[in-house]
Each structure stands twice: as C-alpha cells, then as structure tokens.
Structure 1
Amino acid sequence: MPAAERMTITMPSDMAETLCQTVAGGEYASTNEIVREALRDWTRSRDAELRDLEALRSAIKAGLDSGLGIPAGQVFAELRARYTDKS
C-alpha cells in the first residue's frame, strides 16, 4: 500500500453528519474509508471524462484534417433538387 498522507478537510456540517451516521450504521469502518471511496469514484469519473475529451479532440482533428467541408445550405439545396418531384 502506498504511503499515507494526513490531510484535514472541511465540509458542511450536514455532510459531516451523514458521514458519521453512515459509520455508526456500520456501512463503513471509518469516515476515512468513505472519503477514500468517494475519491476513488471521483478519480474514475474524472479519468473517463478526460478520455472522452481526448476522443472528442481526436475526432475534431480528424474532421479538420479531412479537408474542406461542404456548406450545409449547398448540401440541402442539392438534396432538394435531386428529390423534388418535377412532374
């Protein structure tokens, strides 16, 4: 296990009370355990967001690198011309 570093955190009293009640209810052995689990969840969520952001940046770059696009108005005009009933 990595070395532990002692930190002091400040939180609203209602959150602190929720932590204490959860420990008293036996769900966790200590408030530290709850905070560590919350931080692990936050880290996983943050890592997933960063991966999604990188994938989005890659997709944008691929789009930009693919060359000039066609203006939407031109595309829709061509579609209307192609599929409009000319009878």
Structure 2
Amino acid sequence: MPRVEKISVAITSEMAAMMREVVETGEYASASEVMREALRDWRLRRRQREQAVDELRRLWDEGVDSGPATDGNEAFARLSARLAPKFSEK
C-alpha cells in the first residue's frame, strides 16, 4: 500500500453527517475510505473532462482543416435543388 499521509479537510455539516451515516451503516469502514473514493471519482471525472476537451479540440481542428465554411441556407438550397427531381418523380 502506498504511503499514507494524514491531512485535515473542512467540510460542511451536511457532508459530515452524510459521511458519518455511511460509516455507521457499514457501507464504508471509515471516513477516510469515503474521502478516498470521493477523490478517485473526482480524478476520474477530471480525466473524462480532459478527454472530452481533447476530442473537441480534435474535432475543431478537423473542421478548420476541412476547408472554408459554407452558409447553411445556401447548402440546404443546393441540396433541395438536387433532391427535388427525385421526389417529383414519385
């Protein structure tokens, strides 16, 4: 097991009550165990957020590299003009 460092953390009375409750019910063995799991979850959410930001950056770069932007109304007008004959044949 890695070296354990004892620190002091200030939390709200509501958080302290929740922590005591889960320890008292046996869901966790100690308040430290609750805090360790909370920090692991926090670290996971941070990693997921970083991955999401990296993916957005990649998609942004892909969009920029794909060429100049096209006006949406013009694009839909061209698409409609191209598809109109197919729908009028039916």
Q: Does 1:75 align with 2:75?
A: yes
Q: TM-score when scaled to structure 2? A: 0.82
In the TM superposition, residue 7 of structure 1 has moved relative to its aligned partner by 1.5
Moved more, 30-39 or 75-84: 75-84
Paired letter, 1:75: A
Partners of 1:24 and 1:80 lie apart in 2 by 66
Runs of 4+ in structure 1 over 6 Å off: none
Q: What pairs up with 1:1-87 in 2 under 5 angstroms?
A: 1-84=1-84
Moved more, 22-31 or 1-10: 1-10
Q: Which runs of 5+ in 2 are unaligned?
A: none
Partners of 2:71 and 2:47 lie apart in 1 by 36
Q: TM-score when scaled to structure 1? A: 0.84
Q: Which runs of 5+ in 1 are unaligned?
A: none
**Paired residue total:** 86
Secondary structure, aligned partner of 1:2: coil
RMSD value, Cα: 1.7
Partners of 1:23 and 1:81 lie apart in 2 by 67
Taking only the aligned residue pairs, the percentage that are identical comes to 37
Partners of 1:80 and 1:61 lie apart in 2 by 29
